[in-house]
Amino acid sequence: MKFGVIVFPGSNCDHDAFHAASQNFGQQAEYIWHDSGGLGDVDAVILPGGFAYGDYLRCGAIAKFSKVMGAVRRFARDGGLVLGVCNGFQILVEAGLLPGALIRNRGLKFICREVGLRVETRSPFTGAARIGQVLRMPIAHGEGCYIGDERTLDELEAEDRVAFRYVDNPNGSMRDIAGILSKERNVMGMMPHPERACDPLMGSSDGLLVFQSMLEAAVRV
């Protein structure tokens, strides 16, 4: 399997994602610059964490206009797997690939610590885990509070598109939501960092389940 890691000016988890996919998980990976008009022959795309374009407007609001996002939209439309982590989640929301919004944490402080995530559904990103299983992954964000109107939240739950919920909500996200899926279930955004939980030396290797799930989904296709 080949992962494409999008690199925006200000990305700071692109190397983490590349290392997790290629070294920890043992698959191919390549960087894709934000000004690229295509994605090449990748099987899955990762939008990594960081501060794309310095987050000078809303997080992800500038990155959504990057040339590469046209290619990401086409890839997603054709059924390709797209994973947005932290800032990547924010970009997917701003680009309209996922619903809702991400705003300042409830306590108005940047939070960096490990959290518990409960797996809520089977999907191409969670299929290697059990529903109800609690995974340990770190968060590192100042604007990770997920919000949406009641109709959006009800729709996410009715369509079983909430991928993860926080066990102990750290940021005030509505309905404890930590990760969501697109209607077609091939795009997922999540605030916790699976790429930083791929080696026991980092305190947890639970993040590998996300990569394993994507691999299994790609093989089935």
pLDDT class of 6 with cuts at 50, 70, 90:
very high
Whether the CB-CB separation of 168 and 106 falls below 8 Å is answered with no
How many whole angstroms from its chain centre is CA 3? 14
Per cent of the chain over pLDDT 70 is 100
> Of these residues, 13, 141, 193, 198, which one is catalytic?
193
As a whole number of angstroms, the distance between CA 51 and CA 102 comes to 14
> Of these residues, 94, 145, 195, 198, which one is catalytic?
195
The pTM for the full model equals 0.97
Whether the CB-CB separation of 105 and 115 falls below 8 Å is answered with no
Give the start-to-end residue ranges of the domains of the chain. Answer: 2-220
Is 195 a known active-site residue? yes
pLDDT class of 221 with cuts at 50, 70, 90:
low
Pick the CATH number of 2-220 from 3.40.50.410, 3.40.50.880, 3.40.449.10, 3.40.50.2000: 3.40.50.880
| pLDDT tens, residue by residue, 175-184 | 999 999 999 9
Question: DSSP secondary-structure letter at 199?
Answer: B
* φ/ψ of residue 136, rounded to 5: -110, 120
Is 193 a known active-site residue? yes
Token code pair at residue 12: 């700071």
- Give me Rg for the CA atoms of the chain: 15
Q: Would strands 28-33 and 81-85 be described as parallel, antiparallel, or unpaired? A: unpaired
> Of these residues, 13, 59, 86, 198, which one is catalytic?
86
